[in-house]
Structures are given as structure tokens and as C-alpha cells.
């Protein structure tokens, strides 16, 4: 059986070795999930919400070991393990524990025409959901989806990234310790072969976070069984710096937006568009701020940038950087690996022919940002929207109303004004993109509804109003005339509506009498 090896990306030391999940065990794993889900879905939403509170307490009881594990296996600074992984997870647990009982209640639908009847929406679990998660936020990203799946009454098959299996198993341990019934959550270890095997077992829905290329493969495989998907894929996210922006504020926003988690963020700022009037000073200040960043192993609590987690990403960095150098791009700073190739120095690139570079058009997913100028707002909007991705964008300005006007013209799932990246961690706001950044939402009440089926129920308002509907068979002469006259009530002019009333009532009464004789 193939081994799965977890390594510390800062020094390549082996953390732990695992046996991968045997593919032949998948049918039994699904059977266990189905049995567990039937019991779990029978619990009230309030009971499941109370479980989230216990899960939150369990995470807090193990906070230090979780922080250490994230920093060790993923390579991000320990501060980012707290701020970008722990806090958003705890906040989402708090939000769904309070809000889900209300959000999952039957929701009435006001009816305009059929006042004698009632309609409402009824939410029910999908059944078994598959969650295939990435390595860049190995705790928060999968946990946010697991939390939503648990509180909505689903069973979960969870495949963490093969680069961060220890963190995936820690999530399983935390859920078990908090009292989640056996097999409601099952963690499967392995590479893409395990993910493909999960799809063949036909889960009720698949939640995938990762690259566009893998997302397309999952979509093609899912189409064979009509399995619905939620895809959160790549980004080439833009920042537009308006000429009125504070340079100190704008460069600080760009610094964190481009280089937090060493740029290994789907919402990372990878393209910056600066008004030509302030282009020079912007680059100067940004370079000065980059030069004071501390980069090193996450065993050091004071570092700002951690190591590169994925070996595959290093190949992408090298290819994009080498092409940019060959085509004459100017490297304001960076563009080089450390001597042990565990770290890529923070990199700023500018170029006259920026649109020709792969590093401008394709996701880099690392500590690299391109900076180019624009003359007009329409040009900045056009450059932002030219990308095939549409996940996130940011605008830096002192004119908030102008920022909002520009925001409403950007073809992305989220626009932040005078902020960058972080709204993916807000429990109350939806997260997801458009175009090749995927589809579907997570977090918020919109994201919660991704984990349920929605059933419409329609019923009489009371026993008094149970009578045959006037559109039932057999069709008659006066029935046709009545319904034809009814169309006039949709006129815009109220005088025409009023004029239609006598003829409608006269013919409708005749229709009722005629119907009684049949």
C-alpha cells in the first residue's frame, strides 16, 4: 500500500508517515456514512448547533498544539495560524451555532395570487457530502465546510490535501473528542486517486477547493453521475489604487494582500493597477516595506513570511519568473529562491508589455505581484475584468462612493474597498467566485444553503378552502372566457383593470354554475 509522507516544508524533515486509504474500502466507508447520516439527520437543528459549541470549546482546549501543527506542516507563520486559521474557524462555529436553527426553519413564501393557499420552503440534508480540501489553509478551509455540513445534518467524507494530512486528521480527532457520532465525519488519506474513487461512489454533492485544472477534472467526472458541485478555484486578483489614496495605506495594503501566507492564497493580490500619477512613489514605498519583512522557518515566532508549502508551485514560480526575465520585465525586488530553495524572496515585477507575460495572466499562488499603471478608471476596470478569473478584487481610495461605483463594475465574487483578502474569513459574508474561479458560495447563510436540498411545500390555508381548482378538467366555454378576461387584471392602467371586473365576475359565475352541472 502506498505511503503518504508529511514533511515540514521549511526543512523537508519527515513529520509522520501514513497508510493511504485503500480504494477497495470506499464502498464500506460510504455504507457507514449512510447509516450514520440517517441517525444524525434525525437530530434537531438545535441539537446539532449545540454540538458546534462543544466543538468550539474542544478546539480552544487544544489551541497551542493546533497552532504548532499548522505552522509545522503548512509552513505559515504561527501568527497567521492564529489569525487566518483559528479565529475564522471559531467565529464560524459561533455564527452557525447561533444562526442555523433560525436559518434552517421552514420559510414561508408570500403568495400574491393564490391567497387561499400557503407555500413554504423546507430544508433537508443532502446526505453524504465529499469535501476535498487544499493545503494552503488546511485547517480553516475544510473546517468551514465540515461545520456547515454537520449542522445541516449531513455525513462527510473528508479528503485533506496529501501535503497536510496531519492537520486533516487533527480535525477528525477534534470532532470525535467533541462528541460527534461515529462515521458522521470520516477522513480519507491519499492523492488524486482517492478523490477520483470518492466521486465514483456518487456522493450527494462535492465541495472542492483547489486549482482550476483539477476542478475541471472533478467537474467532468461528476457530470457522469450528475453530482452537483461547489468549486472554489484559482484567482488572479487585482488591486486598483486610485490617485487620491494615501501611499502609506495603499502600500501597506498591497504588502499584506500580496505576501500574507507567502502569497499562497486564492484571494492574494497578484496584480496591482496604480494610477500613473503615483506609480513611481508607490513602487518606492512598497519596495522599502518589503525589505523589512522577515522570512524564515515558522519555528521562529517573529517571522513574517514562511516557506513555500508545495514543491509543484516552485516549478510554476520558476517558469513564470524566467519567462518574465527573458522578456525584459523589471524586477523591483526579489525573483530569487533562497539557497535551499525552501523560500522565494518577495517579488515585485513591472513591465511595459505586461499583458504578454504568463505571470500576469495565470495564477502564481506565491509571493509575487505585478504592478502596472493606468490612466483612467475605465482602463483600470477593463484590465481587472480581462482576467479569466473572477474571485476577488480590492480598491484603495479616500473616495468611498467612487470606490463603490468602480466595485459594481468588477466581474468578481467579492470586492473590498480599503481592505484586502480577509473577507474569506468572515462568517457572515459569502465567499466564492465567477468565471474560472468557480461557482457556489461558502460561509454565511448563503453558504449554509449549499449543504441542503430545498423542498417547496404547498397546502390549503385551512380545511375551509379545500375545493376544486378552476383550471381542472373538463375545460368549458365559460371557463375559457373567464380566464381570458382575467388576463386584463395585469394591465398597468388601473382604469382598465376596474373595467374588466364586471365581465370577469359575470363569466366566472356562469363558469361555476356550468362546472356544477358537469
Catalytic positions, please?
A: 232, 266
Name the DSSP class of 492. Answer: S
Name beta bridge partners: 274: 241, 373
What would the grid cell of residue 214 be? 483539477
Task: Please name which of 234, 237, 273, 270 lies closest in space to residue 366, comparing C-alpha atoms.
Answer: 270
Report the distance separating Cα 428 and Cα 412, nearest Å.
18
Helices 63-74 and 165-177: angle between axes, nearest 10 degrees: 160
Report the distance separating Cα 48 and Cα 248, nearest Å.
46
What would the grid cell of residue 205 be? 454533492
Report the distance separating Cα 71 and Cα 10, nearest Å.
10
Report the distance separating Cα 500 and Cα 155, nearest Å.
56
Report the distance separating Cα 49 and Cα 102, nearest Å.
11
According to DSSP, the β-strands at 414-417 and 392-396 are parallel
Report the distance separating Cα 151 and Cα 365, nearest Å.
32
Task: Please name which of 80, 431, 412, 441 lies closest in space to residue 239, comparing C-alpha atoms.
Answer: 412
Report the distance separating Cα 146 and Cα 187, nearest Å.
11
Our CA angle for 441, 446, 452, nearest 5°, is 90
Q: How far is CA 82 from the centre of its chain?
A: 20
What would the grid cell of residue 75 be? 509552513
Report the distance separating Cα 197 and Cα 182, nearest Å.
22
Q: How far is CA 152 from CA 128, 155, 439, in A?
A: 11, 9, 20
Q: Is 297:10 a contact under the CB 8 Å cutoff?
A: yes
Residue 367 has phi, psi (to 5 degrees) of: -75, 60
Report the distance separating Cα 169 and Cα 111, nearest Å.
48
According to DSSP, the β-strands at 438-439 and 229-232 are antiparallel
Question: Which residues, in sequence order, are CB contacts of 388 under 8 Å at separation 6+?
Answer: 236, 361, 435, 436
Our CA angle for 210, 213, 216, nearest 5°, is 95
Name beta bridge partners: 417: 395
Amino acid at each position: 500500500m502506498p505511503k503518504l509522507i508529511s514533511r515540514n516544508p521549511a526543512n523537508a524533515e519527515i513529520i509522520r508517515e501514513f497508510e493511504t486509504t485503500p480504494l477497495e474500502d470506499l464502498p464500506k466507508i460510504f455504507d457507514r456514512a449512510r447509516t450514520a447520516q440517517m441517525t444524525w439527520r434525525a437530530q434537531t437543528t438545535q441539537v446539532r448547533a449545540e454540538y458546534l459549541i462543544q466543538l468550539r470549546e474542544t478546539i480552544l482546549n487544544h489551541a497551542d498544539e493546533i497552532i504548532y501543527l499548522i505552522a509545522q506542516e503548512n509552513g505559515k507563520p504561527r501568527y497567521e495560524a492564529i489569525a487566518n486559521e483559528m479565529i475564522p474557524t471559531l467565529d464560524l462555529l459561533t455564527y452557525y451555532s447561533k444562526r442555523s436553527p433560525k436559518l434552517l426553519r421552514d420559510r414561508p413564501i408570500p403568495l400574491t395570487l393564490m391567497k387561499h393557499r400557503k407555500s413554504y420552503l423546507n430544508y433537508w440534508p443532502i446526505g453524504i457530502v465529499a469535501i476535498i480540501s487544499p493545503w494552503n489553509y488546511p485547517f480553516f478551509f475544510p473546517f468551514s465546510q465540515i461545520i456547515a455540513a454537520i449542522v445541516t445534518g449531513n455525513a462527510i467524507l473528508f479528503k485533506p490535501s496529501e501535503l497536510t494530512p496531519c492537520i486533516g486528521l487533527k480535525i477528525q480527532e477534534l470532532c470525535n473528542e467533541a462528541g460527534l457520532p461515529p462515521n458522521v465525519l470520516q477522513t480519507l488519506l491519499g492523492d488524486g486517486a482517492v478523490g477520483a474513487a470518492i466521486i465514483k461512489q456518487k456522493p450527494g454533492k462535492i465541495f472542492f477547493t483547489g486549482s482550476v485544472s483539477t476542478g475541471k477534472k472533478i467537474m467532468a467526472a461528476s457530470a457522469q453521475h450528475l453530482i452537483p458541485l461547489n468549486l472554489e478555484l484559482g484567482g488572479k486578483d487585482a488591486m486598483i489604487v486610485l490617485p487620491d489614496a494615501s501611499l502609506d495605506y495603499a502600500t501597506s495594503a498591497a504588502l499584506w494582500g500580496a505576501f500574507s501566507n507567502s502569497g499562497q492564497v486564492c484571494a492574494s493580490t497578484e496584480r496591482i493597477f496604480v494610477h500613473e500619477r503615483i506609480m513611481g512613489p508607490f513602487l518606492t514605498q512598497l519596495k522599502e516595506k518589503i525589505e523589512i519583512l522577515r522570512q524564515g522557518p515558522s519555528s521562529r515566532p517573529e517571522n513574517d513570511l514562511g516557506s513555500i508549502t508545495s514543491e509543484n508551485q516552485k516549478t510554476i514560480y520558476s517558469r513564470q519568473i524566467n519567462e518574465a526575465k527573458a522578456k525584459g520585465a523589471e524586477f523591483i525586488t526579489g525573483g530569487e529562491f533562497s539557497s535551499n530553495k525552501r523560500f522565494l524572496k518577495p517579488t515585485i515585477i513591472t513591465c511595459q508589455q505586461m499583458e504578454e507575460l504568463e505571470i500576469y495572466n495565470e495564477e502564481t499562488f506565491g509571493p509575487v505581484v505585478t504592478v502596472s499603471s493606468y490612466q483612467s478608471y475605465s482602463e483600470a476596470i477593463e484590465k481587472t475584468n480581462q482576467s479569466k478569473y473572477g474571485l476577488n478584487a480590492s480598491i484603495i481610495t479616500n473616495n468611498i462612493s467612487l470606490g463603490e461605483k468602480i466595485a459594481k463594475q468588477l466581474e468578481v465574487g467579492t470586492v473590498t474597498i480599503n481592505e484586502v483578502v480577509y473577507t474569506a474569513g468572515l462568517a457572515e459574508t459569502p465567499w466564492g467566485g465567477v468565471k474560472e474561479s468557480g461557482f457556489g458560495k461558502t460561509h454565511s447563510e448563503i453558504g449554509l444553503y449549499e449543504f441542503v436540498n430545498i423542498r417547496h411545500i404547498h397546502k390549503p390555508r385551512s380545511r375551509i378552502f379545500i375545493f376544486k381548482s378552476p383550471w381542472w378538467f373538463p375545460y368549458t366555454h365559460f371557463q375559457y372566457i373567464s380566464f381570458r378576461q382575467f388576463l386584463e387584471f395585469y394591465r398597468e392602467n388601473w382604469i382598465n383593470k376596474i373595467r374588466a371586473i364586471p365581465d370577469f365576475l359575470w363569466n366566472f359565475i356562469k363558469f361555476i354554475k356550468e362546472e356544477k352541472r358537469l
